Chain A
Amino acid sequence: MDLLEYQAKELFNEMGIPVLPSQRIDHPKDLKGLKIPYPVVLKSQVYTGGRGKAGGIRFVANTIDAVAAAQAIFNLPIVGQYPEVLLAEAKYESDRELYLAIAISQSTRRPVLLGSQVGGIDLESVIQQMQQVVVDQEFSLFYARRLALKMGLTGQLIESVSQLLEKMYRLFVQNDLDLVEINPLAVSPAGELMALDGKIIVNDAALGRHADLAALQPKTIGHQNRVTIAASSGLHLLELEGVIATLCSGMGLALATLDLVTAAGGKVANLLNVGDESQFNALASSLPERVAQGLELMLQGRGIKAVLINVLTNTISCRQIATVVANYVERRAYGHSVPPMVVRLVGKELEQAREILAAVDVPLVQSLDEAIAQVVLLSQSRT
């Protein structure tokens, strides 16, 4: 889960990482009670990058300007996102700007400290100068000094940047973060450090043990969309721009199926992973229910011309999955038309499954390649 800049900075502040005096603005009229002296910076609080270039960050010198700028920013979408909150922050004169981050490297399976002499919005130059240090055992300050030296820092900055990294590391570990990033980290002419912008990504799997962070999750506004409904049922729905609704058991199988449909000239409308039987958070016996929920969700999508169901089972029989599909087709057939389906099942009680599906005119295919060929053909033959 991503945090907004002001939320990240609240965590920085609690950890003793220097941030500028700032104030959260929920409405342009809040600016009348602004406690920070002008000039200030108003920043759109959205989850995407590129705010500066989009016009979501503005300098203002007085209340009249500030209210006008705030109104503009509240009405400015950035990659389709409107801010619910702005951050008003003091202006800062920096001498130079650095980049610092901590993430987990998947190949070394350790936290890595990342640092670049060049901070700021030009990611290409940040990356070209990027240095890294793997924290292979318990963290100690020398890892941070090692990074500072690799970055080419000298003098007082070695110690001050290392100490800041130690605080970032503590924040990272205490809160189960996937990423903590300060970019830019300003260095004043006097050598003082200031986190001008910050990004924090909290690990979703760990949210359950951080109630304070979980509470920062964005509240869904209005009615839920299919993706959020899918997520709350423990299903994973990916919306694409095609015509074949696709349901699979397991993410690897789902991605392979997406590739196969695409390679065969088909276009996937949505890819739903209902999970397999060995998910800890869902009972094995609930797989048929997940398939039933999945069918309902998938077929709410618009413009669907064909449906592919690709499920491998172990303890659950194919008969149970086929029954769910047949029930769905029968129920839907009264009101609406059901797009043609291809069901690919492998597991136990396949013959019973075939009979159940035949009764509702749905073919059961065992070979994945054949199922893909059939569903692509169906999706193209309907105009």
Chain B
Amino acid sequence: MNFTTDSKVLIQGITEPIGATYAPLMQAYGTQIVAGISPGYGGEKHQGIPVFDMVEQALFQVGMVDTTVIFVPPYSVLDAALEAIAAGIRQIILMTEGVPPLDMVRLIRKAESTETLVVGPNSAGVIVPGEILLGTHPTDFYMPGSVGLISRSGTLTHEVALELTRAGFGQSIAVGVGGDRVVGSSFQQWLQILEEDDKTEVIVLLGGVGGDGEEVAARYIAEAIDKPVIAYIAGRNAPKEFLGYTEAIAGFQLSNTRIGDADSKIAAFIQAQVPVADRPSQIPALVKQALQTSAIA
């Protein structure tokens, strides 16, 4: 993982409305955006950023980049990401919502074989407060510190970051792993990254309903994570239609128990001895406790 002020960044889809909106915001935060990609716009400049038709042309001009942030339409995401991997880029952040799951299956197979980190789709991206913004996080809500945030939902991440910042707890890194059904990197991958990150002292994991990612993450925390983790699950009162039929079948199958609703996720975290916050505003107090306990130990 390399998300620092020195990281060089590419924006694929820089002429798309959302790419055009966020590229300058990232740049203003200090992110080194060295080039944009938009087929047909090669040779132009966007907010001072040179635009190329293809990733390989851009890299020929500006040298290797660390990360690409992709803002292309849903059905073009797979192609754009494969293009980036083919050009040697190993950190990919997918902002777009609604990428078909089977496209993600193909992309994840490729990413695994090339050791590429894929964040998203339908993600707010990554922010290392005070250093780099790779996505759409409202930077005012964040400040540098030692809390690592991993989340499925963009605005919920911002909400919790705001609570933490107001209580004086800055963040080491915040990542939106993505709200789509199939996302590139799992909670476990990010737990491992934050476990190894020197600045992170405590990890906050924000989950939701549907899928079995939180249950798997809870087991992983019990086995492999030494830093304190705090969880929050949104959707305790979500009606059952939020859990799809396929999840129900696959969930039953995986553990012979209900999987995917808030109760099963909360139970999994409690079993892993991970404190679960009742509400976002309770998270700073739990963070404080966790930091005190780990200081004594």
Contact = CB atoms under 8 A, between A and B. Distances in A.
Interface core residue of A178, A248, A348 (most chain B CB under 10 Å): A178
B209 A252 contact: no
Contacts of B212: 105-107
A314 B98 contact: no
Given A278-B18, A280-B96, A252 B75 contact: no
Interface string B275-294: 00011110000000000000
A313 interface: yes
Contact of B235 (A103, A137, A259): A259
A203 B211 CA distance: 15
B21 A252 contact: no
A253 B159 contact: yes
Interface in A103-127: 103-107, 109-112, 114, 127
A179 interface: yes
B97 interface: yes
B154 A278 contact: yes
Interface string A302-334: 000000000011110000000000000000000
Contacts of B186: 107, 109
B241 to A, nearest CB: 8
Contacts of A276: 136, 154-155
Contacts of B22: 278
Given A251-B179, A256-B156, A368 B280 contact: yes
Interface in A262-289: 262-263, 268, 276-281, 283-284
B249 A114 contact: yes
Contacts of B39: none
A284 B100 CA distance: 22
Interface stretch (A22-30, A31-39, A86-94, A205-213): A205-213
Contacts of B216: 107
B37 interface: no
Nearest to A2: B245
B72 to A, nearest CB: 9
Interface in B136-191: 136-138, 140-141, 151-159, 162, 179-183, 186
Nearest to A99: B249
Given A106-B181, A106-B182, A255 B208 contact: yes
B250 A105 contact: yes
Interface residues of A, number: 64
Nearest to A124: B252
Contacts of B152: 252
Contact of B237 (A262, A283, A367): A262
Interface residues of B, number: 76
A238 interface: yes
B225 interface: no
Contact of A263 (B124, B153, B279): B279
Contacts of B52: none
Contact of A369 (B96, B101, B180, B279): B279
A208 B75 contact: yes
A259 to B, nearest CB: 5
Contact of A178 (B109, B124, B141, B244): B244
A252 B208 contact: yes
B13 to A, nearest CB: 9
A138 B105 CA distance: 10
A130 B252 contact: yes
A139 to B, nearest CB: 11
Contact of B138 (A130, A208, A347): A347
A279 B98 CA distance: 10
A199 B135 CA distance: 38
A104 B181 contact: yes
B50 interface: no
Given A107-B212, A258-B237, A250 B154 contact: yes
A179 B154 contact: no
B234 A255 contact: yes
Nearest to B260: A106
Interface core residue of B99, B183, B245 (most chain A CB under 10 Å): B245
Contacts of B135: 278
B281 A369 contact: yes
Nearest to B123: A278
Contacts of A111: 102, 105
Contacts of A256: 156, 159, 232, 234-235, 279-280
B208 to A, nearest CB: 6
Contact of A176 (B102, B209, B213, B279): B102
Interface string B23-49: 001000000000000000000000000
A173 interface: yes
Interface of A: 101, 103-107, 109-112, 114, 127-128, 130, 132, 136-138, 172-173, 176, 178-179, 181, 201, 203, 205-206, 208-209, 238, 240, 248-253, 255-256, 258-260, 262-263, 268, 276-281, 283-284, 312-315, 346-348, 367-369
The 6 residue pairs across chains A and B that have the minimum distance between CB atoms: A252-B153, A250-B155, A252-B156, A106-B211, A314-B138, A206-B100
Given A110-B105, A252-B152, 15 more contacts: A104-B102, A106-B182, A109-B182, A114-B249, A130-B253, A205-B99, A209-B75, A250-B153, A250-B154, A252-B157, A253-B153, A255-B242, A258-B235, A280-B73, A312-B141
29 contacts: A104-B105, A109-B186, A172-B102, A205-B74, A205-B98, A205-B101, A206-B100, A206-B101, A206-B102, A248-B155, A249-B155, A255-B208, A255-B234, A256-B234, A256-B235, A258-B235, A259-B235, A260-B279, A262-B236, A277-B136, A278-B18, A278-B135, A279-B97, A280-B97, A281-B98, A312-B158, A314-B158, A346-B162, A348-B140
